[in-house]
Amino acid sequence: MSAVIENHHDDHHHGPDKGLMRWVLTTNHKDIGTLYLWFSFAMFLTGGCMALVIRAELFQPGLQLVVPEFFNQMTTMHGLIMVFGAVMPAFVGLANWLVPMMIGAPDMALPRMNNYSFWILPFAFSMLLSTLFMEGGAPNFGWTFYAPLSTEYAPPSVTFFIFAVHLMGISSIMGSINVVVTILNLRAPGMRLMDMPLFVWTWLITAYLLIAVMPVLAGVVTMMLMDIHFGTAFFSAGGGGDPVLFQHVFWFFGHPEVYIMILPAFGIVSAIIPTFARKKLFGYDSMVYATASIAFLSFIVWAHHMFTVGMPIAGELYFMYATMLIAVPTGVKVFNWAATMWQGSMTFETPMLFAVAFVILFTIGGLSGLMLSIVPADFQYHDTYFVVAHFHYVLVPGSIFSIMAAAYYWLPKWTGNMYDETLGKTHFWLSFVGVNVTFFPQHFIGLAGMPRRYPDYALQFADWNMVSSVGAFIFGFSQLLFLFIVIKCIMGGKKATDEVWDGAEGLEWTIASPAPYHTFSTPPELPERSMA
Amino acid sequence: MARKESKVGGVQRLKASLQWLIAVAALSSSWQALADWSALNMTRGVTAISREVYDLHMLIFTICVVIGVLVFGVMIWSMLVHRKSLGHKPATFSHSTKLEYAWTIIPIFILIGMAVPATSTLRDMYDASGADIDIEVRGYQWKWQYTYLSDDPNQEVKFISSLLTPPDEYYNRTPKRENYLSDVDNPLVIPINKRVRFLITSNDVIHSWWVPDFAVKKDAIPGFVHEAWAVVEEPGIYRGKCTELCGKDHGFMPIVVKAVEQAEYESWLAMKQQEALQVYETVGKTWTMAELMETGEQVYAQACQSCHQANGQGIPPAFPSLVGQGLAIGPIDAHIDIVVNGKAGSAMQAFAAQLNPAEIAAVVTYERNAWGNNVGDLVQPRAVNALISSKE
Ligand code: HEM
Ligand SMILES: [Cu+2]
């Protein structure tokens, strides 16, 4: 940001440019945050439609709507779009909006790069989505794209998939470098690391995880590219390669990746619960240490996704024990949230409803994760709907609920208007019911023996699949209500105060609502030490 | 540990109330599901190992439920009582070293309580002592091949096991029968009370061989042979599934294992060996066009149709059409070659490993003369056999 403002340029610096070019050229963290969030929502609906195709097909036994080839494309694209297009960009969008405002910085440290990191994404996802119209169809080998199904046996569109993944990786790495540099350099004078809000902390750690593992993902897809087009045989047994190597490399990326999708959620919930309990966050220090331990452990547990590939027993035991250990810091977080609520003075506006639901439902996902880490039992759970239930519990009422909570919590700050509380609560209850009706029965379906990624199933799974599909449609359609609520809030509504919530703490609540285009051009005076 | 002992009663009660809760949920959505509790939980199975796994599952499940009930109980209590609307004033505490130590350390002990039985079960599963019978399990897109290994190659029994449910059923043209998608043409047959070792591998992509009743799930990976074993205690029919995404018909390659008394197993094996000998004889004789076409049509339906489709049109580009183009109307030697040896880097397998020479001759002849291809030539099993032996 240019520090010196000449008089005749004044108007350019006080407000945004007009028209489309404002969005294309913007280097303003709030604009870019908004772009990320809308992009993510568009991908959420796109991936959601694919999920509904899947659930519609699974409503009854038999093939009614799609053929198996297309079903596999739907599961693959759904997973890829939700992970890389919906959840991750939403968190980056929130980081863009919030990190500078929370640490009292005027903008992200590298604004031009910020613009690039966003604008790569539409290209990446257009490329990925275009594969649906190619001969041979879209990628059909699952979001985990195990070789050799994704190499020797893949449809021709796999090459486009590889380049799309490369673009997403570049975008994520640039975005995370920006977050790290911003947090380490642009904090308001006097704000120590241990004074930072937890959202900033969790994002700092997430950004390091991203920088560490996105290159691994890039490496694995590049090896695939070489195998497919340049005659190498990294993953081809026939050529002396090793298909299991693929899985090790993939999950070395993949397991930290799942924590990339949950750590910022921890930060959001740690901001919201204290506000509506009107009580300080319990155990701030242990929250930070727990987050760091989870991040560390996430690098040394990857093969818990591979218990059935035939590892020697020493390997199985090591990965089992290491995975079980993650439950300890995860437990610390949950207990801290419960202790924050305890003896508070709670009210239940929409953000709080989503945050509390997050804690409870995420914990259910954590407990099923603990069950999955027990190797002999995992032999029965692995690649069944039990696993599907597990990761949807941590990702949908986990990550996605936290994003919804964040949207409701900070919308008044972003738009200057209060959202419609009644509609917000309706949206919450529909989502809450929908999510549980969809995913809870999947625990049973899985235990009873239905494998995942099946377009059709034996008759004994019919009842619960039907229930699950009904839930999915409830959940899916209630997201249109969310869209309506957000648009309504942007268009107008009760004016928000600067503080918005009576118990809210943090620098973002000290600036006007809506947040002016430029904030903290001069660093704020910190209130007397509040944290630690 | 002592703590756990004293909790058992409570655990039982909790378990009962949880079952009750789930039952209510089931009731409200489906009477049928309620009728069958096994539709909701893990299979207990028919081996000592599978029962150990089931007990382990119930133990960790119960521990998780107890933890869940306690934590959610505290939260719900708090949400009901510590509300602003009830005039509750917020407390000011924000940490407690004692509590924080407690809820870091206690979970570690609970985890140890889970890890101990888990480790011992896993060690039992990894017991690598010898076996009474060795069976190679080989995954193909989209069927299983079972080979009863024997020191004498003439005694070896080998067959393909694939889905029995006809497309009419899964395309909803005829009613779905019992064991829909769970029946195969040739089940694996094993004797009870014998230690059967499965040597699991794959010919193309990764599959995974899962029989819940044995608690056996092992990935079938090209280039690797992994081992699993089972001692089945009760005669019966046990059904399993492929559990690693392996392409379009991943959901259509079930597993059926028939466990029988030793005597029955032996006579079955002898019969299979006899059949193999008969095949030898049929390869020697000269076949007519009509015979080849008739057998060819059957073989096509069993081995080729899932990719190249009943009408031969395939699903291009992955699975090319055989009608009026390519090898099917080209030189016959190349046609035989691709069926015998497959095509590297594609889903086209080397069928010499799955079909006998007579079947290969028949199906090649069929492909050249069906769907209006009408090339008019045919190939004798003898010729196919000569080609295969010359390779060896
Ligand atoms: C206490 C914490 C957790 C434990 C112990 C745990 C454990 C596991 C284990 C053992 C598996 C492999 C299951 C199998 O394939 O057989 C698994 C799968 C998975 N977990 Fe977790 N998990 C935990 C939390 C999370 C969180 C927080 C997320 C993401 C937000 C997550 C996302 C996933 C995903 C996406 C998969 C499935 C990947 C796939 O195969 O497609 N898990 N988890
Ligand atoms: Cu993991």
The helix/strand/coil state of A134 is coil
The pLDDT of residue B26: 52
The pLDDT of residue B3: 40
Q: What is the pLDDT of residues B264-275, one digit of tens each?
A: 999 999 998 888
Q: Choose among B42, B103, B169: nearest Cβ to A380.
A: B42
What domain range is B170 assigned to?
Answer: 133-279
Give the ipTM: 0.91
What length does chain B have? Answer: 392
The pLDDT of residue B70: 95
For ligand 1, atom 34, name the residue with the nearest CA: A391
CATH of the domain at B272: 2.60.40.420
Ligand 1 cavity residues, CB under 6 Å: A 144, 258, 261-262, 304-305, 323, 326-327, 330, 366, 369-370, 372-373, 378, 381-382, 387, 390-391, 394-395, 398-399
Per-range mean pLDDT, top range of B121-135, B202-216, B305-319: B202-216
Q: Any residues with CB less than 8 A from the CB of A432 and at least 6 apart, and which?
A: A353, A357, A397
The pLDDT of residue A13: 53
Distance CA A38, CA B300 (A): 52
Which tokens in the block code for residue A143? 């979001």
Q: Is the separation of the CB atoms in B206 and B220 below 8 Å?
A: yes
What average pLDDT does the segment B318-325 reach? 85
The helix/strand/coil state of A453 is coil
- B50 & B109 share domain: yes
Distance CA B255, CA B235 (A): 16
pLDDT at residue B20 is higher than 60: no
The pLDDT of residue B19: 60
- B104 & B11 share domain: yes
**Cβ-based contacts of A72 with chain B (< 8 Å):** 245, 247-248, 250
CATH of the domain at B364: 1.10.760.10
For ligand 1, atom 14, name the residue with the nearest CA: A382
Compute, in angstroms, the gap from residue A390 CA to the centroid of ligand 1.
Answer: 7
- B68 & B139 share domain: no
Q: Is the separation of the CB atoms in A125 and A47 below 8 Å?
A: no
Rg (CA), chain A: 23
Domain-terminating residue out of B83, B106, B125: B125
Buried b (16+ CB within 10 A) or exposed e, B187-219: bbbbbbeeebbbbbbbbbbbbbbbbbbbbbbbb
pLDDT at residue B387 is higher than 90: no
- B260 & B138 share domain: yes
What average pLDDT does the segment B364-376 reach? 87
Nearest to B329 by CA among B373, B379, B361, B370: B373
Q: Is the separation of the CB atoms in B296 and B287 below 8 Å?
A: no
pLDDT at residue B106 is higher than 50: yes
Q: Any residues with CB less than 8 A from the CB of A26 and at least 6 apart, and which?
A: A16, A17, A32, A35, A115
- B19 & B119 share domain: yes
Distance CA A200, CA A186 (A): 12
Domain-terminating residue out of B228, B256, B279: B279
From the first residue on, what is the mean pLDDT of each consecutive set of 10 residues in chain A (532 residues)?
A: 42 68 92 96 97 96 94 96 96 96 94 95 96 93 95 94 96 96 94 94 96 96 96 91 96 95 97 94 94 95 95 96 95 95 93 97 96 96 96 96 97 95 96 96 94 94 94 96 96 91 90 91 76 42
- B193 & B255 share domain: yes
Nearest to A115 by CA among A132, A96, A140, A131: A96
- B87 & B143 share domain: no
Distance CA A99, CA A501 (A): 19
Q: Which of the residues of A are catalytic?
A: 78, 107, 143, 171-172, 255, 257, 259, 270, 304-305, 330, 333, 452
Which tokens in the block code for residue A232? 């190498």
C-alpha angle B160-A310-A235 in degrees, rounded to nearest 5: 80
Tally the domains of chain B. 3
Helix, strand, coil percent content, chain B, rounded in steps of 5: 50, 15, 35
Q: What is the pLDDT of residues B129-141, one digit of tens each?
A: 888 999 999 999 9
**Pocket-testing residue among A141, A268, A304, ligand 1, by greatest number of atoms within 8 A of Cβ:** A304
Place of tokens 């076949």: B287
User: B118 vs A308: CB contact, 8 Å cut-off?
Assistant: no
Distance CA A151, CA A182 (A): 39
- B113 & B17 share domain: yes
Domain-terminating residue out of B239, B254, B279: B279
Q: Which residue has the higher pLDDT, B295 or A381?
A: A381
- B182 & B78 share domain: no
What average pLDDT does the segment B321-334 reach? 85
- B210 & B137 share domain: yes
For chain A, list the domains and their CATH numbers: 2-12+20-523 (1.20.210.10)
Instruction: Determine the residue of chain B that is closest to A311 in CA distance.
Output: B226
Dihedral sign, Cα of residue B46, residue B47, residue B51, residue B53: negative
- B162 & B85 share domain: no
What length does chain A have? Answer: 532
Which tokens in the block code for residue A65? 């709507």
β pairing state of B133-140 and B143-148: antiparallel
The pLDDT of residue A4: 43
pLDDT at residue B53 is higher than 70: yes
Residues 342-361 of A with CB under 8 A from B: 342-348, 356, 359-360
- B245 & B312 share domain: no
Q: Any residues with CB less than 8 A from the CB of A131 and at least 6 apart, and which?
A: A137, A138, A139, A157, A160, A161
